[in-house]
């Protein structure tokens, strides 16, 4: 700390002392970065986050996406895609079709079981007394 600052106190210019260059965490001169949800102090460089402008799952300001509030759009009876970020989700109602294969009762999509799944199912059948 400079001698004068010690006697007279700092000469604050925003968050920075014009005399000794010391900074404080108040009086920042924030500037918003283009396309970013944060602001930077032009004097000391401190970066502060700002609230995102969420429109469903994407921020309209910085383009960040999050995994919630998607704008779902149905592409088939069981499948949906988010209009905004392109994420897909499906909720098929699979029922056993033949050994090792399930079929969705709504859209007819086939789902092949893995060998482990088949083995597990065989076990379940035996436990339930199936023949």
Binding residues (CB under 5 A) for Zn ion: these are 5, 10, 15, 17, 19-20, 22, 28, 37, 41, 43-44, 46, 52, 57, 59, 61-62, 64, 70, 78, 82, 84-85, 87, 92, 104, 106-107, 109
- DSSP H/E element including 126: helix 115-127
Residue whose CB is less far from Zn ion, 57 or 102: 57
| Residue 8 DSSP code | H
Distance CA 12, CA 15 (A): 7
Residue pair 30/43 in contact (Cβ under 8 Å)? The answer is: no
CB 13 to Zn ion: min, Å: 10
**What's the distance, CA 122 to chain centroid?**
40
Residue whose CB is less far from Zn ion, 8 or 119: 8
Residue whose CB is less far from Zn ion, 13 or 123: 13
CB 124 to Zn ion: min, Å: 23
- DSSP H/E element including 67: none
Strands 72-74 and 58-59: what pairing? unpaired
Residue whose CB is less far from Zn ion, 69 or 126: 69
């Amino acid at each position: 700390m400079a001698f004068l600052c010690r006697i007279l106190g700092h000469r604050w210019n925003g968050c920075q002392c014009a005399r000794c260059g010391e900074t404080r965490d108040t009086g920042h001169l924030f500037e918003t970065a283009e396309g970013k949800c944060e602001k930077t102090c032009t004097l000391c460089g401190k970066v502060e986050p700002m609230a995102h402008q969420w429109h469903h799952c994407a921020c309209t300001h910085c383009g960040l996406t999050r995994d919630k509030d998607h704008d779902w759009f149905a592409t088939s009876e069981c499948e949906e895609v988010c209009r905004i970020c392109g994420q897909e989700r499906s909720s098929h109602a699979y029922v056993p079709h033949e050994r090792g294969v399930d079929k969705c009762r709504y859209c007819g999509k086939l789902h092949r079981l893995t060998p482990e799944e088949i083995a597990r199912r065989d076990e379940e059948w035996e436990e339930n007394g199936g023949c």
